[in-house]
Chains A and B, each alone.
Chain A
Amino acid sequence: MNNVMLNEVYKVFDDTKAIDNLTLEIELNKIYGLIGRNGAGKTTLLKLLANQLYPTSGTVKIDDKILKDNDELTQRICLAREVISVRGIKDFKLKQIFDIASLIYPNWDNEFYKKLIDQFDLDIKKKYIKSSKGMQTMVGIIIGLASRAPVTLFDEPYVGLDPVARELFYEILINDYEKSPRTIIISTHLINELENSFEKVLILHKGKLMLNEDMEDIKNKARVLSGEKNKVDSVTKNKKIIYKQSLGRLVNYTVLDTFTEQEIKDINNLQIDFSSLSLQKLFVNLSKGGETI
């Protein structure tokens, strides 16, 4: 299977542009983090990738074939949601919901499913509607993992989960990914908990892609420079500054760029505070700055 390609994709709901001219290539067998504020278009993007929504214009391609109307490609994708919204299904017992999923996903791993039920300690005789919010999220997680779909998408797979269950999910996800690599995209707001699992990060803002970088590159490039304004300005002349904060003569610049050893020496000589930045802080500053990189 080749990479997933989105080419000039727009998705419009009534007057709202949920996805705005998005061009993106998703590499295979990597774990992506999809980050964005509420209403940024994360769920819409996941649904477009899962062929559950069709683009208003533009194309989504897998294997150089257009995903729309392609049943074979659609079956290779699984979008695990944190909640089931279809009335009627909510009244089903969890076992029935898993039985249905096992009938639909061609690569469903029944052994793995049973193991996950034990690990998450889920009572499958319970009705979905009577299960707690965390248990409902677990249903989505188990379907996503046991589907063994080559492209697995998780939409906020933590809602209602306690820290122990969340840690368990991250652990299972990574172990399973190592055993059988596949393309995984996780949309999340709990950036700190997952940033070590991500290989690549996508940041969406108002339907536009603000960042598409390797996690390693982000770790190397994301920096905060704090000091006197004229000194900080002099060392960040040709750098990508994504957020500026000033307090009198002192400034804080968030930069996403590489620095040579000589540049770092100069920064130290000028007594500028030069520190790295977490993904969460980068996302916050990027969203506040609102500049496209």
Chain B
Amino acid sequence: MISSRNIKRVFFHVDKTYILTLIIVFILNISINFLTNIIIFSQPITSFLSQIIINFLSLSYVYLIMYAVGQSVISVPYLTSLNCPRKHLGKTLIISGLKRTIIITFIFLILKLFIINQFMADSSTLFFIRIFLSSNLIDTFSITGIYFLIGYFIFNYFAYLCLTGLTVGWQYVLSSILVLLGTCFLLFKQITLLFVFGSGFNIFIIILIILNIILNIVNYKYIKTFEYKY
């Protein structure tokens, strides 16, 4: 029986282009920021550090989107055409997404502990979530947890969109996006309060956990019953 390691190696064939692209974008952004903030305008180091963190946060989520889309649209159909066991493929994709989110979250935790907490506590220049700037250890782990759950939700949701498109038709993808946007619109007040004051934090975490579990199950079912129609 094929090992998960082999499937992961195939995933990496697809993944390496994305990693390379994002690393180049990251280095370019940071270099430009370094030149403008530090060399030209002689701004304090915290402003440059905040740029590193903003770049990392945005690019890490972009990476999770690219990983979910690339593996769902390329690896899943191609490996099915090579008779790769679907159940194994489904489990490996979900676990590899989880592992990547954990790794990214771990890097975020290090940045939070050693850069944000040390240099940017009480600074209002960087983030608008109050709890994010707190150097309290419990708040640090809470924000790390929510960062992980949002990251994993992004991965699962984009994988779900692509697998929906591939299996039942791309017109349903639009419906799925509209449902998400509609939900965000209806809950606009709650979401704003959450991001500004951190209220409803626990409910938000529970909702994300439930959504992630549901999307994991749906994505697994999609891959398990995937038909190669090309």
Measuring CB to CB, which residues of chain A are less than 8 angstroms from any residue of chain B? 47, 50-54, 69, 71-72, 74-75, 77-79, 81, 84-89, 92, 96, 99-101, 103-106, 143, 149
Q: Which residues of B contact A74 (CB under 8 A)?
A: 83, 85-86
A105 in contact with B82 (CB, 8 Å):
yes
6 example contacts (A-B, Cβ-Cβ < 8 A) are as follows: A52-B228, A53-B229, A72-B1, A88-B74, A100-B10, A104-B10
Expressed in whole angstroms, the Cα–Cα distance for A54 and B7 within the complex equals 23
Expressed in whole angstroms, the Cα–Cα distance for A99 and B73 within the complex equals 19
Nearest-Cβ distance from residue A72 to partner chain B, whole angstroms: 6
Contact (A54, B78) CB under 8 Å given A75-B1, A75-B85, A87-B73: no
Contact (A86, B225) CB under 8 Å given A100-B10, A103-B10, A104-B6: no
A51 in contact with B83 (CB, 8 Å):
yes
B83 in contact with A85 (CB, 8 Å):
no
Q: Which of A51, A75, A88 has the most CB of B within 10 A?
A: A88
Expressed in whole angstroms, the Cα–Cα distance for A4 and B41 within the complex equals 74
Q: Which of B82, B83, B87 has the most CB of A within 10 A?
A: B83
The residue in chain A whose Cβ has the minimal distance to the Cβ of B85 is A71
Q: Which residues of B contact A50 (CB under 8 A)?
A: 83
Expressed in whole angstroms, the Cα–Cα distance for A260 and B14 within the complex equals 63
A81 in contact with B81 (CB, 8 Å):
yes
Contact (A88, B73) CB under 8 Å given A53-B229, A103-B10: yes
B79 at the interface (CB under 8 A from A): yes
Expressed in whole angstroms, the Cα–Cα distance for A79 and B224 within the complex equals 19
Residue-wise, chain B 193-230 has the 8 Å CB interface mask toward A (1 for contact) of 00000000000000000000000000000001101111
The residue in chain B whose Cβ has the minimal distance to the Cβ of A54 is B227
Q: Which residues of B contact A78 (CB under 8 A)?
A: 82-83
Q: Which residues of B contact A149 (CB under 8 A)?
A: 83
Nearest-Cβ distance from residue B19 to partner chain A, whole angstroms: 15
A52 in contact with B73 (CB, 8 Å):
no
Q: Which residues of A contact B230 (CB under 8 A)?
A: 85-86
Q: Which residues of A contact B224 (CB under 8 A)?
A: 69
B13 at the interface (CB under 8 A from A): yes
B88 at the interface (CB under 8 A from A): yes
Expressed in whole angstroms, the Cα–Cα distance for A229 and B52 within the complex equals 92
Expressed in whole angstroms, the Cα–Cα distance for A207 and B137 within the complex equals 67
Nearest-Cβ distance from residue A228 to partner chain B, whole angstroms: 52
